[in-house]
Structure 1
């Protein structure tokens, strides 16, 4: 075995356990053999193919697809077959114009042709340093965002981490969740070669007040987060929690205020935008300051260096619900009735759901201060995308009246159940099982990510009952319960197609809600 192969094996070992029990569970079905297949194809993808498969900067999604189906229980044959669907359109890896090192690391930011040099740079760093130290220095530090005496300009690495529908965050989160530093290196290299979208949406003051006590804080957060049992209390808006800090507004209250404010209406922002322009830039130009103010109210509990793991977990849950609500209820409320569409499976909003499941794995490696910066930035970009897609209505009551949590896959059962079956009329006693079976073999790399994310939300938040969100300002919030996620998953399966059951594949919606 060559030294190079040995080194790459260190970057792509067999999948390890997730760093937090708030991370998605892995369904039975995976095996040692499928883990070997996953490591093999991810290493092959790392060596052979570029992160962007065309000149427009479209992303190589192979690792997202493969990790998702592995975690859903795919066997080795399916893992390898899924990889081959990506090989056919990939761009071969190529050398960058010059190497990247500690001296010129900020010089080539945003240049896709420097991806391979950044990949080599971060790979070398991760061989020498702890992943926490690398993330803290190159994504969350003041130097990596607002610059310093030895840095030209403002790198804004956190903005780049959230750029292009948060793809660098998704990629890095995948690596942290399954313990593959090769994916972490790829995610960081992607961040470095993306633009600094929303450069005015993350206030520089977030980095100016950073503490220097990160190492001990990292140990405290990593130790506490996995063992948390969170009790939601969204009705505590404005009340002082333990410790004397003022509670921030709930994410649903922030959403309600955006819905009620005419400044955020599509017409006021000049939406839809011409092709080639940025949704995020349009939002920050017209309503950036108003959005920052709302985010600051939501983030009140995240101020200071003494933020508890309980508060961080509470805020993670809020954004998970928020993004599922935007995608599911927003996609149903904003469906194109003129085309008799049951649901708009919005391609952009879908990424908000798929990215949210990596927050637990990310914060497990961060100091509380950096975790709060991550959450505040992520929440900002989630709302910015919601506004930029046209601020779809969120008709909670109508959604619950017009959708079901009793999923019926297309086609009749080939064999009638025996009369002694407990509920012979119930085609899907556990509605998630047919969804996962169909999703595993669907060629859409985004469908498996979305259904996995909704399944994860249902696993950790599915027991929430109606009434738990009654204290927020969102109309109909008192009706929300844990069935939100299976309702959204069923609508998605119908919209994208049940291929295993004989339907044809359909596309995600990209028309927006204007």
Structure 2
């Protein structure tokens, strides 16, 4: 049985996107490897803060039906460069119970293992639902701080938490909380400021995601606020050179208890839209590395909405904050034009033997030597299609019908193609310098 210190997957723990049923062999193998990762590896594989994606990758592979042999192969490729979980700066659990010590250790990756052990003891004693409500959602100074950190690091702690909840693994939830504690909190400061601004000046005419994407792109001050040399294009660009403009647009996307489900579907559809449509013809089809994280995090919000232990107010808030950050992310890459025809007219590179249909797309993603980003993106796009089914051709749903599978093909074709796997900061011309023109592509 899964616990805060033990990872245990069953054939029933396969997540929200169904592709192929799982086997007991694969369940045993993924549990074994995730346990090894949990026990031995740090949540950052480098001193620079690059994230360990093993849990994300293996759970996605497992959820989509990959066999034990594929799961083991992908693990071996990415375990080789991980760093040890423990450091020379361990802090005792009892010491972390002191608010002063807990606060002093926040934002420091060297305390990851200490935080992990601390949260394991809390999860064991109180249950994971109660711990999340206490440490992330209580509305006090301590929980507001940690919730802000959960959205840091390009949403990695939030993604990690989503996997833990979706696949019913308290140990992964503990990793997510410890990871959040190791991130800094500038993201949370922006989110709290946006929330405060929205409450101070409630809008009488909320707008859709798509409307706001268009308006952000047309606002020249905001859409050019980030510069190529900014270390972090939200923190050092948008929030320095156009903070009032960013707040103005972000606060016009409003989530309420009444529209929570629809706004969730809208967020999912719109993040996939601005990620897939941000192409730069005639350059190769590539996806922006940063936009991709908005999509990969989107898959978990329907699961959050189904949690009975989460209050409606907190479900609304979690989604509202996601919207604030997504809109800032779009602005921070210089708000690239969104070319829907790049999706609708796309001709997949492989159509034989079902390679261009979802089972074939997932099979090809299994076999890709990658750190997990690509297969997460493919699964999240398929989730977008499933989420959109009940809404039909509503105005805010830019992605619809045949376009879902087209985007799935764009994902796998782009990462199988030559050159770097991802483009970075696609609104800047510099992001595309190293990519080839594509006269050879079928659609050209």
1:171 Cα offset (Å) = 0.5
Structure-2 residue corresponding to 1:493: 412
1:260 Cα offset (Å) = 2.0
Structure-2 residue corresponding to 1:71: 63
Contact 1:391 1:513 in 2 (8 A): yes
Structure 2: distance between partners of 1:33 and 1:346:
36
Structure-1 residue corresponding to 2:357: 431
1:463 Cα offset (Å) = 6.8
Structure 2: distance between partners of 1:174 and 1:314:
22
Q: 1:290 aligns with which of 238, 241, 245?
A: 245
Superposition pairs for residues 146-165 of structure 1, below 5 Å?
Answer: 156-165=145-154
Superposition pairs for residues 105-120 of structure 1, below 5 Å?
Answer: 105-120=102-117
Structure-1 residue corresponding to 2:8: 13
Q: 1:325 aligns with which of 259, 273, 284?
A: 273
Q: 1:48 aligns with which of 40, 48, 52?
A: 40
Structure-2 residue corresponding to 1:178: 167
Task: Choose 447-456 or 26-35, whichever is displaced more.
Answer: 26-35
Structure-2 residue corresponding to 1:213: none
Structure 2: distance between partners of 1:318 and 1:18:
27
**Structure 2: unaligned runs, 5 residues or longer:** 429-444
Structure-1 residue corresponding to 2:209: 251
Query: How far does the alpha carbon of each residue in 1:435-484 deviate from its partner, in whole angstroms, 9 at most, with x for none?
Result: 11111111211111111111111223257544x21xx6xxxx7x642333
Q: What SS does the corresponding residue of 1:495 show, helix, strand or coil? A: helix
Contact 1:67 1:174 in 2 (8 A): yes
Structure-1 residue corresponding to 2:86: 94
Aligned pair 1:455/2:382, yes or no? yes
Aligned pair 1:513/2:427, yes or no? yes
Q: What SS does the corresponding residue of 1:201 show, helix, strand or coil? A: helix
Contact 2:285 2:414 in 1 (8 A): yes
Structure 2: distance between partners of 1:459 and 1:42:
28
Structure-2 residue corresponding to 1:193: 182
In the superposition, relative to structure 1, how do residues 98 and 7 fare at CA in structure 2: closer, same or farther (>3 Å)?
farther
In the superposition, relative to structure 1, how do residues 388 and 31 fare at CA in structure 2: closer, same or farther (>3 Å)?
same
In the superposition, relative to structure 1, how do residues 480 and 353 fare at CA in structure 2: closer, same or farther (>3 Å)?
closer
1:317 Cα offset (Å) = 0.6
Structure 2: distance between partners of 1:261 and 1:207:
23
In the superposition, relative to structure 1, how do residues 10 and 48 fare at CA in structure 2: closer, same or farther (>3 Å)?
closer
Which protein is richer in helix relative to its size? Answer: 2
Structure 2: distance between partners of 1:316 and 1:433:
26
Q: 2:316 aligns with which of 372, 388, 391?
A: 372
Structure 1: distance between partners of 2:194 and 2:385:
36
Matched length: 418
Instruction: Give the RMSD, CA atoms, in angstroms.
Output: 3.0
Q: What SS does the corresponding residue of 2:36 show, helix, strand or coil? A: helix
**Structure 1: unaligned runs, 5 residues or longer:** 1-5, 148-154, 211-237, 239-244, 414-426, 498-502
Q: 2:264 aligns with which of 300, 316, 321?
A: 316
Query: How far does the alpha carbon of each residue in 1:251-283 deviate from its partner, in whole angstroms, 9 at most, with x for none?
Result: 1122122122222222xx142234x34533421
In the superposition, relative to structure 1, how do residues 438 and 352 fare at CA in structure 2: closer, same or farther (>3 Å)?
same
Structure-2 residue corresponding to 1:57: 49
Q: Normalization by structure 2: what TM-score?
A: 0.85
Structure-2 residue corresponding to 1:419: none
Q: 2:331 aligns with which of 387, 396, 399?
A: 387
Contact 2:111 2:182 in 1 (8 A): yes
Contact 1:16 1:178 in 2 (8 A): no
